[in-house]
Structure 1
Amino acid sequence: MARVFTSKEFRRKRRLQDDFEEEDMSRVDFETSENVVVIPTFEEMNLKRELLRGIYAYGFNKPSMIQKRAIRPIVSGRDVIAQSQSGTGKTATFSIGLLQVIDTQLRETQALVLAPTRELAQQIQKVVLALGDRMNVQAHACIGGTNVGEDIRKLDYGQHVVVGTPGRVFDMITRQNLRTDSLKVFVMDEADEMLTKGNELLYLILGFKDQIYDIYRFLPPGIQVVVISATLPHEILEMTGKFMTEPIRILVKRDELTLEGIRQYFVHVEREDWKFETLCDLYDSITISQAVVFCNTRHKVEWLDEKMKESNFTVGAIHGEMDQKDRNEVVRKFRDGIYRVLISTDVWSRGLDIPGVSLVINYDVPTNREAYLHRIGRSGRYGRKGCAINFATTEDIPTMLEIESYYGTQIDEMPMNDILVNRLVLAATKNGIRNVQENISYINIDRPFSAMKLKKDVEEDLVDQILEKQSSASMVIRRNAVTVCQYIIRSAAFIPSLEKVSCQIIPNCRNHLPWPQGICSKCQPNPVTLNHQRYRHVDNVEIENKEIMSNFLSYWYKSHGQRMGFLFGRYEPMTDVPLGIRAVVTVIYEPPQITYTDGIDILEDPHDEIVDSLAECLGLKRIGWIFTDFLRDPDDPTLLHTYMLSAAECLIAAKYQNKYPNACKYSLDGTFGSKFVTLVLSGGENKMVDFAAYQVSNQGSALVAAECLLPSRSSPNMACVRRSTPTHYVPDVYYMCHDEYNNKIRKTAGLLPVEYLFVTIPVGLAKEMRYTLTSQEKPFPIENRSSIGSVQNIRVVGEYVKQFEESEFLKMISNFHFLVYLLTNTEVTFELDDLAELLDAVARQDSDLAKQWAENSIKWNEFKNLIGNEGESVGESEPWACGHCTYLNDHPNADCEMCSLPQKFNLIFNLRLFIMVDLDGSQSPHSHKISNTVFIIPAVIVLIIVGIVVYKLINTLQSKHKKKEEKKKAKGKQK
């Protein structure tokens, strides 16, 4: 039921407003309240368990200074006036307090938060929802420029917390859709902006002060009031005394307001039209992630946005008169990193937090001291480091000095480093300019940062390149304009180290007993919120030539069993993509494995290190793995559509990526992510072989490394998040999705779709076939394929070598599988050092060096004599399976010992034989079993014969039965 206000209540509220204007507060003294309790940890605040988990899930490990002091008074129901530096967690302070106070079982509005801008109101709503995620809290943002009907529908449904701008909130109250009967807490964020008349233009347009007074008239008597801001001028504190009762005051002294970690500079720009060129110089030299440029007027924002876009810079612009939908879109693109630079008025200077912002540029110096503090507070959020640069004309110098004096801070001029001047002299000298020292002049010699220029033309790009070679610092030179020192930008900007996702408890915490007896925010891993990873470590996978795939696919064509192999190749720059990387596949090595029609058992490879060392000598490395996922169509000789990535395959891929990490100097431990790719061959929609490549995301790899994921038994394409046990802690895992209203929400991951775990990568054959080794027109048998009769022994080696002329020695020896056999055979033992010169010749494709090695190598000549004995065996060779009787032959003879049929008969009938594996992983040549799958021709023949026999037998029985029945009928008639 909506609340109806009587005329008596209206008169009482109006008298209250009159009191605001009349009472003299000049004698009130404002200081921080005595005996403010400081609570060092969230655990000691006695918060709800669900709220505490939401705090840790949001990323807070310990409370900030303002949170240690202000949360407890808010929770206890006291009125609070809190002032603290920008970026210290003020929004979370009052959000935690009101979430502790409200009762989520009661579907009524119990907390009202006012904010001066729409964007700030939306951000507060998101913080409240994130912190109260486990409490099932309902929060809605009532802001102008949005659909009124949607606000009415949401409010009628019931919201625990309402956040909004004063105009829309007052409208909802007067419409009686926002019911205030159950309100417990009233919060004013950035109160100075809403209550002061210092900005007359803003006051005339928005009338925030009167709107807040009107809203307060409808609030329950004795409601708890919380006032929050980074700046609270004396006149604001006087006003708050009218509607607050003995408030707890937590005020920061003026000289403590300067943000720690934010380095402040100003560039003296003598003319206004030089600012744009200076900004372009800065934009070119920015090495940080994102920056915000502030202007004083809407017209300046629109003009600067247009000029930057004309110069082909990707920027976004926002101001108070934009449509709300457009403002939301600009903010979204800036948060997502689509825009690196945002141009804005002061509408964006309050409370909004973008983690990537570490540079603020004041294109126009703000007109008041409070605006300056809020602007530069957009960088250095919550203890992070940042940088602020002010473009100051001669008229702005007094304002800058006043800001310095008021806050007791220091804003340095951007210096020109003498070392860089010397490097410029050196670079210009190498460019052919003589007497450089005489050609360098300074305008305003007392301001070394301003207007250094060369009287003679200097090729800017060449000077920059030479400077880059001299040092990692470089300088952008603009003639007839302000020279901006990129070295200062790079030294002032903060580039954080890349941190891996951690899903494991930090051991040896001193504050408590080890898990499961104890845990705290310091040792507990942060919750993992899975998003679709927006970047790739590898941008493309390229197969050098079609023979690589043909040789790999030949196993399935002969046996219909799945197959797995490791990809060896190299990484190359991909010029089609900025800073792109391409993985080029040169060869596929197949390790020991047992194959089935529906799976693969990967066995331990005793030659794993030998293969990696061989590849390294050839200039190759292990870059990924490949497997088949085929099903034969029983109705026609094609493939079924089998493309579906399962959770089990993703988990195996993640294990390989964790085993082969990517080296990165910007990471704390020297590695970040992985370039190891996964290639899948499956049946496409057109019933043809389909190629697909992907990588598991960094978040997914971290979860697999911590053993937090398992394949789901109910659905192959779902992963199951394990539960914590006394021996194994699993952090909270969420994933982002959209609800029925297309709002982006976060869900707890019990069963997790695998699409959140991987990133797809384009894959295909090279446009122009390449052969890093040599063409495989005369292939050598691939290793570990004895189950289809493809064996590597002396006889096979002799047949392979005889295919080549003596002049084709390099072509013959440049076969990866043949080189692996040379290093792993038991007849003549080659060490890697024995083949060093040969491998160098193969890598460089040097025919003369290869022939020279062949002539001088004693072991190779011994090997040649061995293979020249017409295939006669010396020593034990690899067993092979007969294709007719499936007997496992231990000798290399061409005929089977059991049935005397030739070995090549196996390739006709395609019967599979599996070598039994002992428990210790060794193969027993005397034990074998026959596959329960009988293939093609034998199966068809047997079935036809059995069918004919059964058919004849049935006909014989039916004819006999029929004759007996006829005889019985004949006897019956005779009787």
Structure 2
Amino acid sequence: MLIRIRSRDGNFRFEFQPSADISEVVAKILETSPDADPASLTISNQPRGNEVSVATLKGRSIKDLGLSHGDLIFVGYKPKPAVSEHAPSETTGVASGSTSGSAAKRPWELVKEDPVDEYWRAQSGKIPRGRDAQFCKHGANGMCDHCMPLEPYDAGYHKENSIKHLSYHAYLRKLTPKSSESASSFLPPLNPLEYKVKVPCPTGSHPAWPASICTGCQPSGITLQSQPFRMVDHLEIASMDIVDRFLQAWRKTGLQRFGYMIGRYEPYDKVPMGVKAVVEAIYEPPQQGELDGLALQWPWEDEPRIRELASHASTPLSIVGYIFTDLDPTPEDRTKNVYKRHPQSFFLSSLEVIFAATLQKQNPINSKSSPTGKFASRLVTAVLTGTEDGQVDVSAYQVSEQAVAMVEADMVEASVEPGIMRVKEEDRTQGSSRYVPDVFFSFKNEYGLEVKKSAKPCFPVEYLLVNVTHGFPQAPNPLFQSTQFMIENRPGLEDQTLERAMSELSRLEAPGLVPGQETYRKKDLAEYLSDFHLVAFLQTTQLFSVEDLNLLLKAVSSPNIMEDQSVLDPVLASDSWQTLMTFTREHAPRRPQTTAPDGSSSAMDEDIPPELYDQIAADNAAGGGGGGIRICPHCTFENTGGGSDCDVCGLPL
């Protein structure tokens, strides 16, 4: 077969057998490029990007690489380093056979992908179709073009179901169909966008930027366009209580709030090979809210701690995005909010887009389809803002890979008009090396014609947005059963204290008939402990060891904890829990002891005055054994029921 090779030394054609080893190709390259350093040789199926070192392709044949007759290979290399006259010559591991099997592993083969990615890679992704009553003329076991399954990237299906973006894995299937699966395993199809000048220049023919620049190191012109795929197709918040609890701070103060969404990624069946982010909790970092914005503590110091803690839930959790409020009550009716984010205004401001791009750049996913082993991000931006009828709703977005690359290259900046993004000027001054290529965007004019326009000095923000649908489950089943514990970093509004937690735990504990054999109202205790904010707070008290805290989180996030409270038994038997309850009992109000079985009076708590027992007797007499409040003489808790035994300790009233 004929293989074409293009390098800085020119274009060449060579004949190879399909079974020829890659080392034969390397030998031909070195013949045409005598100054090439064999260890630096790379090949690619694109003029720029997607380069793979030939040293990692040892033992592969041309056919295994997916190359066919007439294919063009782009070759890159660095000049051969100067060596002394007596120094031994070096050859690439592919040609000499010196590369070990472990060294042949490529970066993308070593990464561990998210479980949802592993799931979709194991599925066919085909869209099933039923028998067409009008066009299908075959038998029940037959199949034709009218009923055969569709590919997950089928354009007709997406248009018919109003799906604007391909899912990540449907996009991968479109780039790497089954016919070229072998090629895709060696030449990953996804290449992260890069708009920075390459320093040093790959050609090595001139001083590095900003002293000089050429076509080999400068980025190409940019045409802004809608991203064809999205990393997350749907945002699902596990319970309305999560959002309602987050909104309480705004309702009480009128100041905007920000929080990180803690959750996981799952398959989403409403989109072919779709992925959804499921939110189980919202953790609020240190911040200063304002009426029209907020200031965050940056970087977030607690992020490593919260990430590590969340990973030990019964279903491992991570940070799947962030959410913030942008609410402004209308002057006419304070119960309704201003409708400020809409098609005639903006959806995300230019400043918010830059913030989203920065976070997405810092949180890429592991991907076997990228030469670097990393690609894009699944971090979702959610906004709580007013709707057209004045109510509060969630809007969810991501920013495109073009937005991330432009922010990374320091090419754009926010403007005073929220719906407009500014393109920065090129800067070669001392200490700066910003290069800004030509940037264009296209739109339809008043005559319906597609027009391309320069994006300098500014362009609409929506060219950088990717829409994400959102919703709540019809039958909520959140991992955490409670949202009642105080929220962190709300000073003066909600203060997290150990005394408050111990007071609630004391209420949920009932004394046993034998000292030291205390019991618990298990179901109420399970519900109270099943709160991510409570577990995160207990971690800061230093009362729990790392192992016991992870055990606690795993137990309280168990899906069936309300039906089977026995999952709490290992926690209640742990040393850390016993330490916490020891502190709790020491700080709880002291109770009188019961009368001894022989009729003699046991030691009574001297801290409780005798008048209290007279009051207890009077209250019980007033209760008359029926309704009203009756105080138990044994544990001093109030009973509102009509039973003859205490609701807490179970002893006779």
**Corresponding residue SS for 2:355:** helix
CA deviation after TM superposition for structure 1 residue 534, in Å: 2.3
Report whether the alignment pairs 1:656 with 2:372. Answer: no
**Letter of the 1:590 counterpart:** E
Alignment partner, residue 303 of structure 2: 608
Alignment partner, residue 519 of structure 1: 213
Q: 1:781 pairs with 460, 474, 486, which one? A: 486
CA deviation after TM superposition for structure 1 residue 526, in Å: 1.9
Alignment partner, residue 115 of structure 2: none
Report if the CA contact (8 A) 2:506-2:584 is conserved.
Answer: no
Report whether the alignment pairs 1:586 with 2:292. Answer: no
**Corresponding residue SS for 1:691:** strand
Alignment partner, residue 817 of structure 1: 533
**Corresponding residue SS for 1:834:** helix
Larger Rg: 1
Deviation by residue 1:33-74 (Cα, 9 ceiling, x = unmatched): xxxxxxxx9xxxxxxxxxxxxxxxxxxx989859xxxxxxxx
Deviation by residue 1:142-198 (Cα, 9 ceiling, x = unmatched): xxxxxxxxxxxxxxxxxxxxxxxxxxxxxxxxxxxxxxxxxxxxxxxxxxxxxxxxx
Q: 1:705 pairs with 402, 408, 411, which one? A: 408
Alignment partner, residue 578 of structure 2: 861
CA deviation after TM superposition for structure 1 residue 739, in Å: 3.2
CA deviation after TM superposition for structure 1 residue 801, in Å: 2.5
Alignment partner, residue 170 of structure 1: none
Distance 1:525 1:829 in 2: 55
Structure 1 segment 497-576 matched on structure 2, within 5 A:
497-509=189-201, 510-576=204-270
**Corresponding residue SS for 1:572:** strand
Distance 2:499 2:254 in 1: 27
Alignment partner, residue 795 of structure 1: 499
Report whether the alignment pairs 1:259 with 2:70. Answer: yes
Higher normalized contact order (CA 8 Å, seq sep 6+, divided by chain length): 2
- CA change 1:658–1:871 in 2 (3 A) is farther
- CA change 1:569–1:493 in 2 (3 A) is closer
Alignment partner, residue 89 of structure 2: none
Distance 1:616 1:849 in 2: 19
Q: 1:729 pairs with 427, 432, 435, which one? A: 435
- CA change 1:785–1:512 in 2 (3 A) is same
Report if the CA contact (8 A) 1:810-1:851 is conserved.
Answer: no
CA deviation after TM superposition for structure 1 residue 505, in Å: 1.3
**Corresponding residue SS for 2:382:** strand
**Corresponding residue SS for 1:662:** strand
Distance 1:492 1:786 in 2: 57
Structure 1 segment 381-396 matched on structure 2, within 5 A:
none
Distance 1:492 1:783 in 2: 51
Report if the CA contact (8 A) 1:804-1:812 is conserved.
Answer: no
Report if the CA contact (8 A) 2:260-2:283 is conserved.
Answer: yes
Equivalent pairs counted in the alignment come to 409
Alignment partner, residue 634 of structure 1: 331
Alignment partner, residue 830 of structure 1: 544
Distance 1:562 1:718 in 2: 23
CA deviation after TM superposition for structure 1 residue 748, in Å: 1.5
Deviation by residue 1:380-423 (Cα, 9 ceiling, x = unmatched): xxxxxxxxxxxxxxxxxxxxxxxxxxxxxxxxxxxxxxxxxxxx
User: 1 or 2, which has the higher helix percentage?
Assistant: 1
Distance 1:616 1:358 in 2: 32
Structure 1 segment 462-477 matched on structure 2, within 5 A:
none
Distance 1:549 1:664 in 2: 31
Report if the CA contact (8 A) 1:695-1:759 is conserved.
Answer: yes
Deviation by residue 1:695-721 (Cα, 9 ceiling, x = unmatched): 0011111111222211012x1111111
CA deviation after TM superposition for structure 1 residue 578, in Å: 1.0
- CA change 1:541–1:314 in 2 (3 A) is closer
Deviation by residue 1:277-329 (Cα, 9 ceiling, x = unmatched): xxxxxxxxxx9xxxxxxxxxxxxxxxxxxx975465879xxxxxxxxxxxxxx
Distance 2:208 2:193 in 1: 22
**Corresponding residue SS for 1:617:** coil
Distance 1:650 1:667 in 2: 24
Bigger Cα displacement from structure 2, 696-705 vs 727-736: 727-736
Structure 1 segment 171-210 matched on structure 2, within 5 A:
none
Report if the CA contact (8 A) 1:610-1:823 is conserved.
Answer: no
**Letter of the 1:655 counterpart:** T
Distance 1:687 1:584 in 2: 26
Alignment partner, residue 384 of structure 2: 681
CA deviation after TM superposition for structure 1 residue 810, in Å: 2.8
Report if the CA contact (8 A) 1:62-1:521 is conserved.
Answer: no
**Corresponding residue SS for 2:282:** strand
CA deviation after TM superposition for structure 1 residue 260, in Å: 3.7
CA deviation after TM superposition for structure 1 residue 689, in Å: 0.2
**Letter of the 1:641 counterpart:** Y
RMSD: 3.2
- CA change 1:717–1:803 in 2 (3 A) is farther
CA deviation after TM superposition for structure 1 residue 507, in Å: 1.2
Distance 2:235 2:439 in 1: 31
Structure 1 segment 892-911 matched on structure 2, within 5 A:
none
**Letter of the 1:716 counterpart:** P
Report if the CA contact (8 A) 2:200-2:209 is conserved.
Answer: no
**Corresponding residue SS for 2:442:** strand
- CA change 1:586–1:525 in 2 (3 A) is same
Report whether the alignment pairs 1:672 with 2:375. Answer: yes
Unaligned runs of 5+ in 1: 1-40, 42-60, 67-257, 263-286, 288-306, 316-335, 338-355, 360-485, 873-975
Structure 1 segment 144-155 matched on structure 2, within 5 A:
none
**Corresponding residue SS for 2:229:** coil
Structure 1 segment 437-516 matched on structure 2, within 5 A:
490-491=181-182, 497-509=189-201, 510-516=204-210
Distance 2:588 2:412 in 1: 52
CA deviation after TM superposition for structure 1 residue 839, in Å: 2.7
Alignment partner, residue 447 of structure 2: 741
Structure 1 segment 23-102 matched on structure 2, within 5 A:
none
Report if the CA contact (8 A) 2:195-2:409 is conserved.
Answer: yes
**Letter of the 2:443 counterpart:** C
Report if the CA contact (8 A) 2:531-2:556 is conserved.
Answer: no
Report if the CA contact (8 A) 1:838-1:849 is conserved.
Answer: no
**Letter of the 1:781 counterpart:** M
Structure 1 segment 849-888 matched on structure 2, within 5 A:
849-857=567-575, 859-870=576-587
- CA change 1:708–1:814 in 2 (3 A) is same
Report whether the alignment pairs 1:769 with 2:463. Answer: no
- CA change 1:679–1:800 in 2 (3 A) is farther
Deviation by residue 1:117-165 (Cα, 9 ceiling, x = unmatched): xxxxxxxxxxxxxxxxxxxxxxxxxxxxxxxxxxxxxxxxxxxxxxxxx
Distance 1:724 1:749 in 2: 14
Distance 1:818 1:496 in 2: 44
**Corresponding residue SS for 1:588:** strand
Deviation by residue 1:906-931 (Cα, 9 ceiling, x = unmatched): xxxxxxxxxxxxxxxxxxxxxxxxxx
Distance 2:302 2:467 in 1: 31
Distance 2:224 2:232 in 1: 20
After TM superposition, the score normalised by the length of structure 2 is 0.58
Report if the CA contact (8 A) 1:595-1:601 is conserved.
Answer: yes
- CA change 1:684–1:512 in 2 (3 A) is same
CA deviation after TM superposition for structure 1 residue 724, in Å: 1.5
**Letter of the 2:288 counterpart:** I
Distance 2:180 2:227 in 1: 30
Alignment partner, residue 556 of structure 2: 842
CA deviation after TM superposition for structure 1 residue 819, in Å: 0.7
Report if the CA contact (8 A) 1:562-1:596 is conserved.
Answer: yes
Alignment partner, residue 463 of structure 2: 756
